[in-house]
Amino acid sequence: MALIVQKFGGTSVGNPDKIKNVAKRVLKNHKEGNQMVVVLSAMSGETNRLTDFGTEMQEIPDPREMDVLLSSGEQVTIALFAMAIKSLGKDCISLLGDQVKINTDNSHTKARIQSIDSDHIVKELDGGKVVVVAGFQGVADNGDITTLGRGGSDTTAVALAAALQADACEIFTDVEGVYTTDPNICSKARKIDRISYDEMLELASLGAKVLDIRSVTFAKKYNVPIHVRSTFTETEGTWVVKEDNKMEGRIVSGVTYNRNEARITISGVPDQPGIAAKIFTPISDADIIVDMIIQNQDTGNGLTDLTFTVPRSDYQRTLQLLQSVAEKIGSKGGVQGSDSIAKISIVGVGMRNHSGIAATMFSILSKEGINISMISTSEIKVSCIVEEKYTELAIRALHDAFELDKESVPEEENVI
């Protein structure tokens, strides 16, 4: 008998009929002798609908009250699911985040899980029940309802799997697994059978939307195997697991992109200690996340340029913030930027032991006439900032050049 945690997203529980189908699928696993814990998101579109209600009431909604509002979406789905299970002749109990005791900090709308008290769930499982838990929510020390932010239901599922020492955590979605790139852009995209935690972390952080990055962090820390698969088929999906030797055989595992990027340059700033801190401290204080940073070398005039990227949604706010900063530090060139860019990345644990991969990527983009404005690397990824209009061309060119449509490529043939 295995203990399995299954998470179903909004498209999987988009209406009562879909919820009934999910209930039948869960019961099939239960009848095979497995203990089942199910985590559900709100119905597809419900969180956006509730968010719109909040902004109708208050231009900038109070974060605490937004958590109370948004958490109601999952409450609906878990109650309906429990009813569906009971209608099929099996006992089920629905539990909210505060009933399970998913303890979080008090950062409303973006809380982080601190601990989980699994005793209540274990008691119900030992009683033979199917347990369904509201994703995306928890409770702060003061008793306030909190939510985990977008993608939080993935994090709930993996955190529960870790706390319960589950045998597996299955994330059901509307795709059949993790692909070598976006199938909507590249028809040759191939489903990956197994991918390492580190590769999945990079893909998630770089724009791939299959898994929330925090869920992968939990999985890696507590060694929870994640199975990403489709709600609508029985096809084996993608396992996200510890790295093995076979994974290192492929140099590049995937190509991803992120259009939610904006580039900002502050020119002609004094090249002296403390200037970078004066530029980036106000940005940090405004809770704006900075990604890539490039500083040009001083050409002898005592001045330098700083270029960095921020989320596109924070572009205008960052520009306004830096206008006053530029004046205070004596910038000679002022502040410029662009929100028509994209970040293109290649990822693979095999890069650790191979040279020339970045050069190969640059060569491929050059052949397609795609200019690179910024570059960032790590042990297992290379990222380039390009003009947004070249996103799809870059994705297809890199996918073809690294032959990612092939199941396996001999090492000597995979270097261009």
User: How many domains is the chain built from?
Assistant: 2
3-state secondary structure of 225: coil
* In a shared domain, residues 32 and 163: yes
Question: Tokens for 71?
Answer: 């958490």
* In a shared domain, residues 290 and 166: no
At 412, the pLDDT band (50, 70, 90 cuts) reads very low
d(CA 241, CA 68): 35
Q: What is the pLDDT of residues 223-236, one digit of tens each?
A: 999 999 998 888 99
What Cα–Cα distance (Å) separates residue 168 from each residue in 36, 63, 158, 225? 11, 34, 9, 5
- For the question of whether the overall pTM of this predicted structure is more than 0.75, the answer is yes
* CATH of residue 69: 3.40.1160.10
At 299, the pLDDT band (50, 70, 90 cuts) reads low
What Cα–Cα distance (Å) separates residue 145 from each residue in 10, 210, 260? 21, 26, 29
Q: What percentage of residues in the chain have a pLDDT greater than 90?
A: 77
* CATH of residue 340: 3.30.2130.10
* In a shared domain, residues 168 and 256: no
* In a shared domain, residues 162 and 254: no
* In a shared domain, residues 141 and 256: no
* In a shared domain, residues 283 and 159: no
* In a shared domain, residues 389 and 252: yes
The answer as to whether 29 is a domain residue is yes
* In a shared domain, residues 292 and 411: yes
Q: What is the pLDDT of residues 130-185, one digit of tens each?
A: 999 999 999 999 999 999 988 899 999 999 999 999 999 999 988 899 999 999 99
Domain termination residue (choose one: 174, 209, 235):
174
Domain termination residue (choose one: 174, 195, 230):
174
Query: Could you say which DSSP state residue 60 is in?
Result: S
Whether pLDDT at 336 is above 80: yes
Domain termination residue (choose one: 174, 194, 212):
174
Please tell me the predicted confidence (pLDDT) of residue 298. Answer: 67
Listed in order, strand segments (DSSP E) in 198-281 are 226-230, 238-241, 254-270
Contact 113, 102 (CB under 8 A): yes
**DSSP codes joined into one string, 104-165:** E-S-TTS--EEEE--HHHHHHHHTT-EEEEETTEEE-TTS-EEE--TTHHHHHHHHHHHHHT
The answer as to whether 87 is a domain residue is yes
* In a shared domain, residues 166 and 38: yes
Task: Supply the range of the domain harboring residue 65.
Answer: 3-174
